[in-house]
Amino acid sequence: MSKTLLAFAALLLLTGGAAAQTGSVEVKNAWARATAGKADDGAAYLTLESPTPDRLTGASTPAAQKAELNTMTMEGGVMKMRPLAGIDLPAGQPVTLKPGAMHVMLFGLTEPLIAGQSFQLTLSFEKAGKRKATVNVEKTGAVEPEKAAGDGMQMPMPIPVGR
């Protein structure tokens, strides 16, 4: 009887560990641009990869009053931003949130985003639960982590739609 109980307990431990591994989402290169002047809003960008299909459903941060999943599109020569209910993560395929595309919009910043500093971002997933990430703040005009745009031009702010 005790061997059976021991085998059952070992099986539970092994399957529990495997389930935790298959449900983990890797967060890479989390970054944001420094905000200019008295900007109230900002954005965070990152790459996500999950070993199993999952869905990013939301985000929160103490750096802003509201964090929202968004996408940007060009319509009739006008850049528009729209909220997303979620972002699908196909198994084993990286999904990159980047300027001019999907991103985490930060509304009502609690203080300016300053190059060289960082802030915490909590991401919510359907299967993997919540994951915390440290977002590094890059120079104004950066187009990717640790690489600023050569001409220092800033991307124009899109027109929010349906917020």
What number of H helices and E strands is found in the chain? Answer: 1, 13
Domains observed in the chain: 25-142 (2.60.40.1890)
Read off the pLDDT of residues 119-128 as tens digits, 9 standing for 90 and up.
999 999 999 9
Handedness of CA 141, 120, 57, 105 (dihedral sign): negative
Question: CA-CA distance, 106 to 50, in Å (whole number)?
Answer: 24
Read off the pLDDT of residues 38-91 as tens digits, 9 standing for 90 and up.
899 999 999 999 999 999 999 999 999 999 999 999 999 999 999 999 999 999
Mean per-residue pLDDT, 152-161: 44
Three-state secondary-structure class, residue 19: helix
pLDDT at 131 over 70: yes
Read off the pLDDT of residues 1-38 as tens digits, 9 standing for 90 and up.
455 444 444 444 444 444 444 469 999 999 999 999 88
